[in-house]
Amino acid sequence: MPKYPFKVGEEYTKNDIYRICSVPIDKQRGNWDTGYTKYGDDWFIFTNVGTPGRTGHDYENRFIGDDLHWYGRTNSRIGQPSIESLINPDGNVYIFYREESRSPFIFAGLGSVKSIRDETPVQITWQFTKSSEERPEVLAEEVSEPEKYIEGSTKKISVNTYERNPYARKKCVQHYGYDCAVCGFNFGKTFGELGEGFIHVHHLKQLAEIGQEYHLDPIADLRPVCPNCHAMLHRKKPPLRIGELKKVMKNS
């Protein structure tokens, strides 16, 4: 269970984090400014995504679907006490990222190791533990681990990793807002505070069109859609295009 009440997707400055974690003044800065530090039993990771760090390091930290591919410090490697503690922490690993070197950090969630590459610097792919309330990109009918259910008791709707990328999702809704691109529904306008900020995003390109060197453009390639329309887009294989679903609604 998380010890500190950080909210996934919310922005925090270092001073906010010191306050929330009750970090004494003499324990602030220092290791907190080195990319990752341990405080009590917990680890805190601060990473730049898509921009170099203030130290000039420009590692290719990036989100791959739900997961974060992350590089440790320049000389980090498996076997170092700090890396071994990160891999098998006594407490939680709180992961924060930002898109610009002087912006506040965004809380990505509690991380756990998904995979490790034994190189220098060490490379770790982090996966996140989040509740359904913190995952507005997940379809209501989707099951993440269907093997845990009795066959026939549920079904899985496939959603590609580009619709799960939190960095891309944020850029998409910043540009287009929270109105569904198909039906125009807005959760905030209908449900008030409860619905504020809730929307799915849909990837316009079919997987067959995507090559290995494909780089996602959140503005050109993603659109906000409500869960109902998102589910309907994915009712066909390949998924319906937004214009096609609009025609279906018009003719119904």
Structure tokens that stand for 173 in this block: 């809704």
Which domain covers residue 213, as residue numbers? 136-251
Tell me the CATH number at 98. 2.30.280.10
What is the predicted pLDDT for the residue at 59? Answer: 75
Given 105, 132, 159, the domain boundary residue is 132
Q: Is residue 3 one of the residues assigned to a domain? A: no
Residues 64 and 155 in one domain: no
Judge whether 4 lies within some domain: no
Let me know whether 22 and 95 are in one domain: yes
Query: Domain for residue 2, yes or no?
Result: no
For 38-86, write each residue's pLDDT tens digit. 999 999 999 998 766 555 556 789 888 778 999 999 999 999 999 999 9
Of 92 and 166, more confident: 92
pLDDT for the residue 84:
96
pLDDT higher than threshold 60 for residue 136: no
- DSSP label at 78? T
Mean confidence (pLDDT) of the chain: 84
How many CA atoms lie less than 13 Å away from 217 in the CB half-sphere? 5
Nearest Cα neighbor of 218 from 204, 233, 199 is 204
Domain boundary pick from 132, 155, 186 = 132
Last residue of a domain, one of 106, 132, 158: 132
- For residue 54, the model assigns a pLDDT of 54
Residue 55: the pLDDT is: 52
**Helix residue spans in the chain (DSSP H):** 14-21, 81-87, 166-176, 187-191, 218-221, 227-233, 242-251
pLDDT tens sequence across 210-224: 766 677 888 999 999
Name the pLDDT band for 207 (thresholds 50, 70, 90): low
Per the model's pLDDT, the better-predicted residue between 149 and 250 turns out to be: 250
My answer on whether 86 and 119 are in the same domain is yes
Q: Are residues 75 and 24 in the same domain?
A: yes
Give residue-wise pLDDT tens across range 222-238: 999 999 999 899 888 88
Phi/psi region, residue 152 (left: phi>0; alpha: psi -120 to 50; beta: rest), is left
pTM of the model: 0.70
